[in-house]
Amino acid sequence: MIMRITWGKLRAGTWQEYEQAYHTTVAGKEVPGLRGRWLAQDVNDPDGGFAVSVWDTLDAMQAYEQSAVFKQEIDDRPLPQQRQVGYRLLQRHKCLSKPLPATLTAS
């Protein structure tokens, strides 16, 4: 399994709108090879956060990153350039532990 971690910084006071757009355009969509994804708000900086996703394989993650689905998700987020201050793909990691039980995962 592969974990993809991205970081983003939003303009002050826009987290709630961004989170709503994330849930509307990204969360819950079926993507081949995707095991789960989470949006996490930084507890020390309410305008910053991380998007974490877990994939079956590196190939599946890269196919998604290069897909029309990925581009559409980015394009469908309302006014991202007005809310977003910074965005960066931080890391891709090979997961060495077993997946968490379903009762411990967040929606």
What would the CATH number be for the domain defined by 2-94?
3.30.70.100
Question: pTM of this prediction?
Answer: 0.71
Residue 6 backbone dihedrals phi, psi, to 5 degrees: -120, 150
| Residue 7 confidence (pLDDT) | 85
pLDDT class of 104 with cuts at 50, 70, 90: very low
As a whole number of Å, the CA-based R_g of the chain is 14
Gap between the Cα atoms of 56 and 99, Å rounded: 11
Gap between the Cα atoms of 96 and 62, Å rounded: 19
Domains of the chain by residue range: 2-94
Question: Are the beta carbons of 38 and 51 closer than 8 angstroms?
Answer: yes
79 Ramachandran zone, left/alpha/beta (phi>0; psi -120 to 50) = left
More confident residue, 32 or 99: 32
